[in-house]
Structure 1
Amino acid sequence: MTKTNPGNFFEDFSLGQVIQHATPRTVTEGDRAVYGSLYPTRFAIPSSAVFAASVGLDPHPVEELIAFHIAFGKTVPDISLNAVANLGYAELRFHQPVVPGDTLSTSSEVIGLKENSNGKSGVVYVRSTAVNQHGDIALEWARWVMVHKRDLDAPAPETVIPELASAVDPTALVVPAGLDFSSYDFAAAGEPHRWDDYSVGEKIDHVDGVSLTDTEHQLATRLWQNTAKVHFNVEARPDGNRLIYGGHVISMARALSYNGLANAQIVAAINAGAHTSPAFAGDTVYAWSEVLDKAEVSDSVGALRLRLVATKGRDESMTLKGEDGKYAAGVLLDLDLWALIPR
């Protein structure tokens, strides 16, 4: 009798099923250091304990995406170990800053199922929640993933596609307790641009590019304890390539966005996200952003709704889709997020 975990296949999921994911993971200062060695991040709050304290965040929080990667990685053995592809995200909210010493535990509920017409796979929709050691929600999100079937003759479940909001309402954004940008040090942060300096419809070319490597990608993916086969095993894909974890591209694009959005300090929510093309070692990632919306959050804090786009190769025209409505060649990531910025 086998004691190993082959992962769940599409027919193993049922609507309303709740999965408690192993293993709780404690965040450390090491996570901050390794994150900074993998991605060219320079945002002042996660970089400087002194700066963070000056805006009311003490103890010193880590990057929001560290918490996301850790929590997401917990879900992989149960949700997407046998995935064809991770298809998208919605309704992701960060409820509070995560600091070294916090221990995150993650659970997921199956909220939708749809077998594909080929009968070989299906789409599983889940809502995942990560809580800290006190039971407080750190972050929650919905995602949908295409998963292989084990038994092609297994009957298709009733199709249920959940209704997910196109964007998190700005009134539902969580401002970290104590956050106050009224004495914000723009010189230390690196750019003078505040909320009023950005306009809806404005596009920002983040200019810089970083070439992906297999070594860094596998270090990152192991750091988050993401066990998806396609990221490590060259025999897991017909083309023999290791697929770059989509979260690696998200963090790379977020780090690159510093150049032009240095004061968009805190990711408060991710409204939607799609990994539109696969990425592999050797690809060079560039990024650009478009301002989709703005909201006043408090007297000193504003929110920018940003479309963050990662591309393979630099696209100075910053084109998302062609006339046919399909994503332009080279687009790797289309991420819609809310970021908090001083007013």
Structure 2
Amino acid sequence: MSAELVPRQSSEVSTARHDPRDDWPDEARRLRDQLADLYGDQDPLPNAAGAWCARQKSAHTRRAYARNLLRWEAYARKSTIHPLQAKLPLADAYANHLAQLPGRDGGTLSESGQAQALAAAGSFYDYAVRIQVVETNPFTHVERPFVDPDYSPTEGLTETEVDKLITTARGWAPRSYALVTLLYLLGTRIDETLALNVTDLGYDRGHRTLPLRRKGGKKQPVPVPPIVIDALQSYLGDRTEGPLFITGTGERWMQTGVWKHLRVLARAAGIPGAANIKPHTLRHQFITDNLAENVPLERVQDAVGHSDPRTTQRYNRRRRALDDHPAYGLAARLAARLEGSGD
């Protein structure tokens, strides 16, 4: 006779009900709370949005998706339409609205920015359909802007400008120097960099390493050159735990602070494009300078964690350098032929 399963009675066993939302990442809980403040706890939108955000693999993606969903929600609410009742005409109007928004560096929002906003909204509705909160995705048939796979809006630096930026950072503060050398010599994304902790510094067969969490959540250890290790050790001093990069109050350094600081450094270095410099500028420069030194494309691609070599080439600033344009070589050969025929 089988024993009957009886719940164990113990004063140590908690009878408190567990809320699964407590297991969501911070970004998902914040998104849920922001929407709950607007629509109330009984509306299905806040929990659906929070659960969708929680499914994204990286904190960077969760922040970007939450930001773009809130942008869409604000547009729908201003149009007096509940986001879960939106149809294709409103989604089409939103796409037109995005094309008129101001961009971060002047002008209008880039095509890639528009595409990302539409992709985030579409991703949410795909999830909402799957959990049966809505019947259809209003963004399924919205026309996406064309994004040139060979174009990147990030402005490049000259070799002299890179040297000036690093020299300025070295004289500014140990944290500045450690940040700039790491971004340039490792080609990391800023979210990967700021997610690192002091205890992440490790060893692997004679190399000092840092484990980067790439897009999609995959981990990749990268070697850290001696110049970066020296800069980090000078910055960290006796600190053995906590975030790798911190603010003056000991909090983890956030992206907005890094953006501002890099532009301060760039202005101090006398770089003409200082107002547009950003962490990604140094990632672009890592790719450009390595390819210019004839490092094989596949090695650079692997170093920066790109799944497609075309993405790596898109970042290559010298790919379209006018100095090497084939028109010059063709013109020189034509001039030689014409000169020869004249003889």
Task: Report TM bin, short chain.
Answer: under 0.3
Q: Which has the larger radius of gyration?
A: 2
With structure 1 as the length reference, what TM-score do the two structures score?
0.24
Structure showing the higher helix proportion among its residues: 2
